[in-house]
Amino acid sequence: MSQYRNFLFLLACCAVVSCGGSGEQVRLTGSGASFPYPIYSTWFKHYSRASDGVIIDYQAKGSGAGIRDFINRTVDFAGSDAAMTDEEIAEVDGGVILLPITAGEIVVAYNLPGVSASLRLPRTVYPDIFLARITRWDDPAIAAANPGIDLPDLPITVVRRADSSGTTYVFSKHLGAISEAWLDGPGVGKTVAWPDTDKIVAAPKNDGVTATIMQTPGAIGYIEHGYAKFADVPMAELENREGAFVAPGSGGGRAALQSAEIPKDMRVWVTDPPTADAYPIVTYTWLLVRREHDDSGKAQALVDLLEYCLTEGQQIAEDMGYVPLPAHVVDRARAALTAIQ
């Protein structure tokens, strides 16, 4: 728990970062996804230290709030795990470029006292847990996938996001791809129609879900891998399309990304990767930037920052619990920077 508190304190300190320098200051403001917040905070701190007078302020509000701030021009850039819809793009004055900037795995984390072994959750089982159809940890469907593990007679508490969330969008999109009951029920979106039951509780942002899982015996929830890694929360091995159980952080994220082609608009989803060694829930996350800027100083500072994130910044991705971008994705994103004016 102390390691996690230190991690959250570090993120809070990195929310606004700057470098003294003697030149004129340029302030870049952003908001949005909490999914990439740990790596964004580290990137922005490191970049500002190496820059002359650049201040970067990023507030992790959730993808939905970030998109709305971006459309309303209250920020210079935004983060979104849900990219943007055609309708949202049409609302952006000055045009928008969606840059895949990093990628990560959404893990199913849990708090199960007395169980030290990593649980395996089949693709027929974990959707039913989040649908509140499987409500106890010693349910036969969970036990059958975990022989030799003494599962407790404990109720399952599902922890979901309370805010408009790109993490929810990606997670629900995956569940909709493997479960008709999910697709016909909660559906897919940054917010979804969760079952009305006291077995499901809500918490804000990835860090709020992480903290609630840690504080609630019997809890289970979906969070970005880095949050679970630094909090030392147990994570399930999930069954992929090929029937293999894959743990997060094992190279399965890289394998999943290799199966996806990047279209012209760079909106791509790895909803249920077909590769045998792929981790099943992997996503890109995007930085949203305007094509046209009124302030040339801000435009150049933003281009320089994004160039750093796409090149040198990728080297720390794995240590932070993220998946480094494939080389061809980096090349496409860097080429798109030339359209920022």
Full 3-state SS string of 83-145: CCCHHHHHCCCCCEEEEEEEEEEEEEEECCCCCCCCCEECCCCHHHHHCCCCCECCCHHHHHH
Give me the pLDDT at residue 56, please.
94
Q: Which fold has domain 2-105+282-339?
A: D-Maltodextrin-Binding Protein; domain 2 (3.40.190)
Give me the pLDDT at residue 91, please.
95
CATH number of 106-257: 3.40.190.10
Contact between 266 and 99 (Cβ < 8 Å): yes
In which region does residue 75 sit, left (phi positive, over 0), alpha (psi from -120 to 50) or beta (all else)? beta
Residue ranges of the chain that CATH labels 3.40.190.10? 2-105+282-339, 106-257
pTM, rounded to two decimals: 0.89
Give me the pLDDT at residue 261, please.
85
H or E stretch covering 47: helix 37-50
Give me the pLDDT at residue 250, please.
77
CA distances 127 to 123, 134, 159, 188, Å, are: 7, 9, 14, 13
H or E stretch covering 184: helix 180-184
Give me the pLDDT at residue 13, please.
43
Tens of each residue's pLDDT in the chain, 341 residues? 545 544 554 454 444 443 333 356 889 999 999 999 999 999 999 998 888 788 999 999 999 999 999 999 999 999 999 999 999 999 998 899 999 999 999 999 999 999 988 999 999 999 999 999 999 999 999 999 999 999 999 999 999 999 999 999 999 999 999 999 999 999 999 999 999 999 999 999 999 999 999 999 999 999 999 999 999 999 999 999 999 999 999 799 999 998 788 899 999 999 999 999 999 999 999 999 999 888 778 889 999 999 999 999 999 999 999 999 999 999 999 999 999 88
Cβ atoms < 10 Å from Cβ of 331: 13
Give me the pLDDT at residue 234, please.
97
Give me the pLDDT at residue 9, please.
41
H helices, E strands: number in the chain: 13, 12
Give me the pLDDT at residue 2, please.
47
Which of 251, 324, 339 minimizes the C-alpha distance to 100? 324
Give me the pLDDT at residue 50, please.
86
Pairing between strand 245-246 and 96-110?
Answer: unpaired
